[in-house]
A and B are shown apart, each in its own frame.
Chain A
Amino acid sequence: MSDPTVADTRRLNSKPQDLTDAYGPPSNFLEMDVYDPQTVGVGRNRFTTYEVRMRTNLPIFKLKDSTVRRRYSDFEWLKNELERDSKIVVPPLPGKALKRQLPFRGDEGIFEDAFIEERRVGLEQFINRIAGHPLAQNERCLHMFLQDESIDRNYVPGKV
């Protein structure tokens, strides 16, 4: 007979776990990659695009595997949309690098390999933090950014 002065610390009863749940793929699979920077255009009208690939099994995303090409200003657009419409604290983007866009630089400015790589890493960190946020996943702008061919800046903001 258990002593009433000593607390009973036995575990509470729980349901046994289904084996397909235990060993199956988790329902939170989400992989984001930002890679393959390509500089397009000539002279003053050059800009760099990055490939943004998402692989997921989250039901909220229409496509389970999507690839799009985006440039820095597209990321800025996404950040602004989320800051305005959602209640989340949006993580920072890598810098705008305005100084690098001034003329008479000794190097390639914003088309320097090292700078592009630094920016790619920052953009990857940014999109990883956003795409996995439960509240951001409800925003149309995020789905358009990740899975639509091109961003329609005249879209109607809203929730999915």
Chain B
Amino acid sequence: MSFFSFGQSAEIDVVLTDAETRKKAEHKTEDGKKDKYFLFYDGETVAGKVNVTLKNPGKRLEHQGIKIEFVGQIELYYDRGNHHEFVSLVKDLARPGELTQSQTFDFEFTHVEKPYESYTGQNVKLRYFLRATVSRRLNDISKEMDIVVHTLSTYPELNSSIKMEVGIEDCLHIEFEYNKSKYHLKDVIVGKIYFLLVRIKIKHMEIDIIKRETTGTGPSVYHENDTIAKYEIMDGAPVRGESIPIRLFLAGYEMTPTMRDINKKFSVRYYLNLVLIDEEERRYFKQQEITLWRKGDVVRKSMSSQATIGAQRFEGSKSSVSSMLDLKCRA
């Protein structure tokens, strides 16, 4: 902002070369609103024009240089002053001098590495943006344009099912099974709960999806849990030998891919929480981590993915019997 009414000022805006064709993606802002931004993937070129428009035509604009930067940074909300830049590219557009009229500058950041997905969370934000700056002695004129980056994965080679026997000694023994350990964001969780021993009076059972955002390192690690979904899978009292099916469609929930130790600054992990509630409102629960990944929109009709689905259904999967006291009870 210029506090001086005399002198020259300018407006900057950044326009991408492929603004007409490039897809936009919705992304949550810090205050919860949803906005659309241009969508980029790792390795894509970021190119366009910087328009510098003089506010008072006829007057000259003196400047110390015009540049454009491509920045990828992590911002921890409790440490706003320090931005951790993991990508930082600069292109000089003009050497120090003066502009006599509005001008447009071309730029291109070729095959830019964008290693992480854009993320706006409770305590941390990871964002990518272009920043065009006209440097001046007293105050710079700059303009930022945020973009959104998605990280894509392909069907994992190994995607074993999760199968475990848990319980409370002599009270409740169940075997739960989820068909995969890695799910993509539009996948379906198919599973079942098999009751081996039921000596308590169960009222109903639900499965919750919990998102845990972890920020900080060492002694000051902070977890922020958020229940993304609660889905009742059984209403009523089961007995021994009963099998309750699970079919949970993930596409309806707002989730991100699993992000592990991003630049050593934060993690976003997802857990399935199986909860049984008895007639006295006591809760018995078992939490299990799942990996979420983002599938590309392009259909990949490969033999390996068909084989994977077939194998999951008919092949015997490894089952692990964990400690009988693994089921937690909370009154």
**Hey, which bits of chain A sit against chain B, CB under 8 A?**
1-2, 4-5, 7-12, 14-15, 17-18, 21-22, 24, 26-28, 30, 58-60, 88-89, 128-129, 132-135, 137
A-B CB proximity, top 6 nearest = A17-B241, A14-B243, A21-B241, A134-B171, A7-B188, A4-B305
24 CB contacts below 8 A, A to B, read A4-B300, A5-B301, A8-B313, A9-B247, A10-B313, A11-B190, A11-B192, A11-B245, A12-B191, A12-B245, A14-B192, A21-B239, A26-B237, A27-B198, A28-B199, A59-B170, A60-B170, A89-B331, A132-B200, A132-B278, A134-B171, A134-B199, A134-B329, A137-B171
CA distance A60 to B197 in the complex (A): 14
Shortest Cβ distance from residue A27 to the other chain B in the assembled complex, whole angstroms? 5
Which residues from chain A contact B245 at a C-beta distance below 8 Å? Answer: 11-12
**CB interface residues, B 112-132, toward A, < 8 Å:** none
Docked-complex contact A30 and B201, CB < 8 angstroms: yes
Docked-complex contact B243 and A133, CB < 8 angstroms: no
Which residues from chain B contact A10 at a C-beta distance below 8 Å? Answer: 190, 313
Which residues from chain B contact A128 at a C-beta distance below 8 Å? Answer: 280
**CB interface residues, B 227-269, toward A, < 8 Å:** 237, 239-243, 245, 247
**Hey, which bits of chain B sit against chain A, CB under 8 A?**
168, 170-172, 177, 179, 187-188, 190-192, 194, 197-201, 237, 239-243, 245, 247, 278-280, 282, 299-302, 305-306, 309, 312-313, 329, 331
Q: Which residue of B197, B199, B299, B329 has the most chain A CB atoms within 10 A of its CB atom?
A: B199
Which of A2, A11, A59 touches B309 (beta carbons < 8 Å)?
A2
CA distance A12 to B239 in the complex (A): 19
CA distance A9 to B309 in the complex (A): 11
Shortest Cβ distance from residue B311 to the other chain A in the assembled complex, whole angstroms? 11
